[in-house]
Amino acid sequence: MTPQMTATLLSLAYFFGCAYIMVLFQLSIEFKEEEPENSNHILGDVLFDVLPYIKNSEKLVEILINVALLYTLGRLFTFPASKRHEILQHALTTAGTVYLFRGVTLALTPLPNPFPNCESGLHPENPMMFNALLVVLKLKRTCKDVLFSGHAMSLTLCILVVHKYYTKSEFIGMGVYCCIGYLLVVATKFHYSVDVELGIVITVLVFLMLDAFRTLRHVENKKSSSQHDLPVYITKPCMPIIEPEL
């Protein structure tokens, strides 16, 4: 197995590990009983007042996001293997890190869900670890994962990958497409506007931070007299900057 393949597999393991931890945070608040006065309370939102409410369109949002992800991933196969691994490692590590931030944020600040028809299908009597696995595998869902938006994270990551690695025309097209997606997420009341805003900002910051780590590693490798080249991205996604030299 090549070093690049090893780094990609580590990034994939990091992504799924972070996703699982995030879901455990979600489940820590999923079955908590709310105070009666807050059980049906929806926070005020300017875009809720401006945008028309689109009922029963949650599947449309999922399809829109899946199309963006499929295009972004499918386009990778037009790149050489080394570049493909680099992009995958960058995207997976960004998504995993954002998931960690999201899990903590969800647990710290649970907001009332603005989506009126949300049904998780989870059973509180099941072990939390089992319920978490069902959610990670997309077999079930949670209904209190509001702040911040995972939908916005997925769309923003597609824009960032396309902007950095693909063509300018693709970036413009993906940008317009994802902006429509952001508005649709709010119009369906999947999330409050602030959830989408924070999802965008945090994903951008994490993506740029990891890109800066990667640039620093390349600079360090050029200055180093080591005979062994490191993978093009980070060998240990969890600790990209303090990884020991090979």
Tens-binned pLDDT, residue by residue, of the chain (246 aa): 788 888 889 999 999 999 999 988 888 888 776 554 555 577 788 877 888 877 767 788 888 999 999 999 999 999 998 899 999 999 999 999 999 999 999 888 888 878 767 777 778 888 888 888 888 888 888 877 788 888 999 999 999 999 999 999 999 999 999 999 999 888 888 788 889 999 999 999 999 999 888 887 767 666 664 544 444 444 444 444 433 343
Residue 242 lies in a domain: no
User: What type of residue is 227?
Assistant: Q
**Diameter of the chain by CA atoms?**
66
Range of the domain at 95: 3-30+46-221
Residue 144 lies in a domain: yes
CA distances from 115 to 6, 187, 190, 244 (A): 41, 10, 5, 46
Residue 196 lies in a domain: yes
CA distances from 239 to 14, 214, 229 (A): 11, 12, 18
Distance CA 100, CA 20 (A): 9
pLDDT at 233: 47
Residue 133 lies in a domain: yes
Distance CA 221, CA 227 (A): 10
Residue 245 lies in a domain: no
Residue 150 lies in a domain: yes
Q: How many domains does the chain have?
A: 1
Asked whether the bond before 148 is cis by omega within 30 degrees of 0, the reply is yes
pLDDT at 33: 63
Residue 207 lies in a domain: yes
Q: Exposed e or buried b for every residue in 38-53, given b needs 16+ CB within 10 A?
A: eeeeeeebebbeebee
pLDDT at 175: 93
Residue 36 lies in a domain: no
